[in-house]
Structure 1
């Protein structure tokens, strides 16, 4: 008779929940308990899935690379932002609890001798993915999606959040809504931009957008161009909090009140959003959870579990503060 999960638990001297965590690569399990489970799996020839077959090889730890473009790599090494730094903490937490050794690299430093790769941020392109997949090892994108590439990725659902936000503004009688976005080569910005356009067009209003260059900070020029060519909008929807906060600063510098003259909405819910003046209405991205989900997905692939590529999208949460009238 084939062994059951309870048989593995009894032989290993652990609970069935512990056996499940080991087999699924989820939650914390001590190295000693993990070794007992693997030994019991092997002895009983328990084979519920490919996961157990892989565990029977007794490889109990993995060496993974966390790769990013130059800008995000610097952020991760310096802990210098309020987005990717938190995503990386989620990756660290999961890896440390699941015997996954991680190292940071730029895509130019690409190491070809690791067990798997997490590719982080909007700078990641198709060439980076091809190079990583050529090793034959698992690859997961974090906060990036490349259409047509069919590689595992973990993203936030910016489209849904943007549609919700624009509908919220429209329901409050704010019809002239301008979008300020970052480079649309970044999936996150493009996803939110698409949601903004869809919501505006669905309601019968004309979308109007401007691209913000965060590195060179062209927000002053954007606001001047907007006011001269479009006029004063009812609301500004920023595709991230940094753009939204800078827009508020430039509007206030021109004696335009927030939100009495213009409502401003952001996206990300970085720490500065709550302490800006006025406090920024925004959408919370679950950044730590994104990092955890990415590392968990990579572990599943390392154990040959659920190998078909998937795009995992985390919903956002609306956070109303003082910068909007709705």
Structure 2
């Protein structure tokens, strides 16, 4: 049975507050009392709970993180960046997912009520922004990663989605491509809007147009989005898929139709997830700096907990074009 602080106080014939002051090396406890308390602690093997230590310090030295789920291909890199920074500072990470919808949000709310963490890192799950906004307004520090909806009022770390897509367009134009298809992500995401605008603006400046079709950021979605255009015989010699999973689906569909990549059709993705270097042919893509975004967001939150105001404007970690064999 775990020894409690109340048991230590009873045996040492002091209050729980005095035990707490001894544990935290406060100088207002006389020497003989402190020695007696420490003797009881040693005899009972008492160790304070992390929550008790956090309450004594006024903080938990734990950061909360709320994400939609762990299946997104780049999520592991973001989490590793966050963990590297937190561990180096001696902070813990309390990770919450939204895999079970409202039930998951209820569980997360219990952690909030228990003051289980000092600040929150957020990759916006669906149907959660109103609740997170309420928490933020009540004083919870929040830093958003990969702001999918361009929510003002939150500090955030993002990447150069628009410029990354523009780099992809310039690369395809320079390689002589003239008939473009853009396979977008869901329209409600901020990154979808930015990537579409970045790509199409470069084409417009060059006097070119593109066919835009909507996907869903999955491999099957990329395949389904491009198949009707291939079947219709529409002229296309370049496809920009707004993430690598859809780009892999596009490669599948082109292979099934007997279209050679990149000879007949060039394909460019976005993200540079692990599979991009191992597709056939290997995928030219725009690298999203996922790990660096996690690191930057964790540093921003910890800096705020140390007293630095959160910045009003997003911190942008730039993308980079990675040229491989597909285009």
Task: Answer whether TM exceeds 0.5 for this pair.
Answer: yes
TM class by smaller structure: 0.7 to 0.9
2:283–2:324 contact (8 Å) kept in structure 1: yes
| Alignment root-mean-square deviation, CA | 2.4
CA distance in 2, matches of 1:170, 1:151: 37
Q: Any residues of structure 2 matched to 1:1-326 within 5 Å, and which?
A: 62-69=61-68, 72=69, 75=70, 80-106=71-97, 108=105, 109-110=107-108, 111-112=111-112, 113=115, 114-121=117-124, 123=126, 126-147=129-150, 149-214=152-217, 217-228=220-231, 231-324=234-327
- Displacement after TM superposition at 1:322 (Å): 0.5
CA distance in 2, matches of 1:307, 1:213: 33
1:110-164 per-position Cα deviation (integer Å, ceiling 9, x unaligned): 3322311001156475314313314412100011154352211111111101111
- Displacement after TM superposition at 1:171 (Å): 1.9
- Displacement after TM superposition at 1:229 (Å): 5.1
- Displacement after TM superposition at 1:224 (Å): 2.7
Secondary structure at 1:267 match in 2: strand
2:300–2:310 contact (8 Å) kept in structure 1: no
Larger Rg: 2
- Displacement after TM superposition at 1:257 (Å): 0.5
- Displacement after TM superposition at 1:81 (Å): 4.7
- Displacement after TM superposition at 1:215 (Å): 5.6
- Alignment length (residue pairs): 261
- Displacement after TM superposition at 1:60 (Å): 7.7
* Closer, same or farther: CA 128–217 of 1 in aligned 2, 3 Å: farther
- Displacement after TM superposition at 1:311 (Å): 0.2
1:126–1:146 contact (8 Å) kept in structure 2: no
State TM-score, norm by structure 1. 0.73
* Closer, same or farther: CA 197–126 of 1 in aligned 2, 3 Å: farther
Greater alpha carbon shift after TM alignment, 120-129 vs 184-193: 120-129
1:121–1:144 contact (8 Å) kept in structure 2: yes
- Displacement after TM superposition at 1:99 (Å): 2.2
Partner of 2:51: none
CA distance in 1, matches of 2:135, 2:145: 14
CA distance in 1, matches of 2:219, 2:270: 20
* Closer, same or farther: CA 221–145 of 1 in aligned 2, 3 Å: closer
- Displacement after TM superposition at 1:92 (Å): 0.6
Greater alpha carbon shift after TM alignment, 296-305 vs 146-155: 146-155
1:54-94 per-position Cα deviation (integer Å, ceiling 9, x unaligned): xxx9768622210022xx2xx1xxxx553011110110111
- Displacement after TM superposition at 1:263 (Å): 0.3
